[in-house]
Amino acid sequence: MKNSLKCEIEPLVKEANFSLRRDVLRLLNKAFFVEKNKKAKKALSWILENADIAKRQDLAICQDTGLPIIFIEVGSNKSISCLCVKKIEQEISLAYRKNYLRPFSVSPICRKTPSYEGAITHVDFNPEKRGIRVTVFPKGFGSENKSQLKMFNPTVGLKEIEDFIVESVKRAGPESCPPFVVGVGIGGTSDHALLLAKKALLERVDLANKDGLLNGLEKRLLKKINALGVGPMGLGGKCTALAVKIKTAPTHIAGLPVAINISCHALRSATRELKSVIDEK
Amino acid sequence: MELGVYNSEMRKRTNTIKDNGLKKLKAGEEILFSGYVYTARDQAHKKLVSSIKKSKKLPLDLNGQIIYYCGPTETPKGKVIGSCGPTTSGRMDAFVEPLLKSGVVAMIGKGTRSKKVRELIKKYKCVYFVAPSGCGALLAERVLSKELVCYKELGPEAVYKLKVTGFPLIVAIDSKGNNIYQHLQK
């Protein structure tokens, strides 16, 4: 089992780090053609050229190969063992090392011993799907450092929430590598809202939200964010964000958590259905 | 615009041209830099500044040098360096003054700098550049050599001496303190 799992996980790690997502590339290309500001256009051309070089040369799109986040989604016809989850983590760690990606963690207080340990794993059960899907999401910290959480009162107006989101993007600034994709989580508990915001970044960014209300909100926010004038690399222009993606969950009557997880322009992730995972009970 | 080789070894011979070269740059200008830079980010800054404060001898001579806020990936087989784009400069703001006092003439990173750092840049007449952020593969192609200088134990955060050619940079804060991010800062 180990070998075949390796054959499935290593390409996933490579794809996640060397190939920019197609939906992201589509929006970057669109931004390049629409942009009139010369400096912003140049920045976008660098970004597109970089994606091309990374893919051709098996180089990481960004030297910040993230603290990888692993999502394992288990469908209705499958189960998964602890051993299997640990093996997936192990193969991801090995693939990072083998492909010359940056050691992705250090001890939090003494800041020593850079290593390939400590990827963050989430296992979800989804009765609406079949099979087991693994997603590798290398999240860089230039943008991760700008994550925000605010616990609003339940009586708050939408306007206040929008202002909070726009202000958070403004504060992320040029150092978080705009144009961004802005993930927003609304509802649940504090921790759940943050996770929703992160998961929102895994949605197709070039497609409209199926929920009419959220679609309207996403479009309105994108317009406001793109009026900020930050632009690619902070050089001005129309494109501060490529997309805003919102995910919601039911919440408590006493509150309204709103979380923001920003991605840099190099939004990378790769997903595949595992064929080799079998339950070992 | 091509800014020639600039480093301390060359300094004596090319002092005038090079010093003027840097000081003449204006915020917003884009240049292609060829020469040497030293990578240093969070932990290397902490160590360097701690040594400076204790008046210890530094493992490298900072005089006339350019610091690049960067922690590259591992070097793939057959390549000079892995992906090597800039990291957020703001985290190094607190360490800037001792390094400028030690002779650093320019910094390369990404993003805005604090008011204090903008004033220091003016005071020491140095330059802050930004490199294409999130473009580590593109920048890797412009690195000719990489040599470990010190702090090996820090892994990607160690100090490396890089020889670069045609390295695209934008002058973000010039020696007069003009700042391309003025409109985004208070």
pLDDT band at B21 (very low <50, low <70, confident <90, very high): confident
Mean pLDDT of A47-53: 98
Question: Does residue A255 sit at the B interface (CB-CB below 8 Å)?
Answer: no
Q: How many domains does chain A have?
A: 2
Task: Answer yes or no: do A180 and A136 share one domain.
Answer: no
Q: Measured between CB atoms, which of B73, B111, B168 is closest to A175?
A: B111
For residue B135, give the chain A residue with the closest CA: A50
What's the helix, strand, coil split of chain A in %, to 5? 40, 25, 35
Question: Does residue B114 sit at the A interface (CB-CB below 8 Å)?
Answer: no
Task: Answer yes or no: do A118 and A179 share one domain.
Answer: no
B 36-65 residues inside an 8 A Cβ radius of A? 42-43
Question: Does residue B68 sit at the A interface (CB-CB below 8 Å)?
Answer: no
Catalytic residue (choose from B41, B45, B47, B118): B45
Coil, helix or strand for A106? coil
Task: Answer yes or no: do A163 and A213 share one domain.
Answer: yes
Residue A37 counted as domain residue: no
Average pLDDT for chain B: 90
Whether residue A114 is preceded by a cis peptide bond, meaning omega within 30 degrees of 0, is: no
Residue A33 counted as domain residue: no
Could you give the CA distance from residue A169 to residue B3 in angstroms, rounded to a whole number?
Answer: 35
pLDDT band at B32 (very low <50, low <70, confident <90, very high): very high
Structure token digits, residue A136:
């590798």
The CATH number of B2-175, from 1.10.3720.10, 3.40.50.720, 3.20.130.10, 3.30.360.10, is 3.20.130.10
Could you give the CA distance from residue B112 to residue B160 in angstroms, rounded to a whole number?
Answer: 24
pLDDT band at A102 (very low <50, low <70, confident <90, very high): very high
For residue A49, give the chain B residue with the closest CA: B138
Could you give the CA distance from residue B144 to residue B140 in angstroms, rounded to a whole number?
Answer: 9
Residue A187 belongs to what domain range? 141-263
pLDDT > 90: percent of chain B: 85
pLDDT at residue B6, as a whole number? 44
Q: What ipTM score was computed for the predicted complex, to two decimals?
A: 0.93
Could you give the CA distance from residue B94 to residue B114 in angstroms, rounded to a whole number?
Answer: 9
Task: Answer yes or no: do A152 and A192 share one domain.
Answer: yes
Task: Answer yes or no: do A158 and A87 share one domain.
Answer: no
Task: Answer yes or no: do A194 and A222 share one domain.
Answer: yes
Is residue A279 within 8 A of residue A214, CB to CB? The reply is no
The reply to whether B183 belongs to the active site is no
pLDDT band at A131 (very low <50, low <70, confident <90, very high): very high
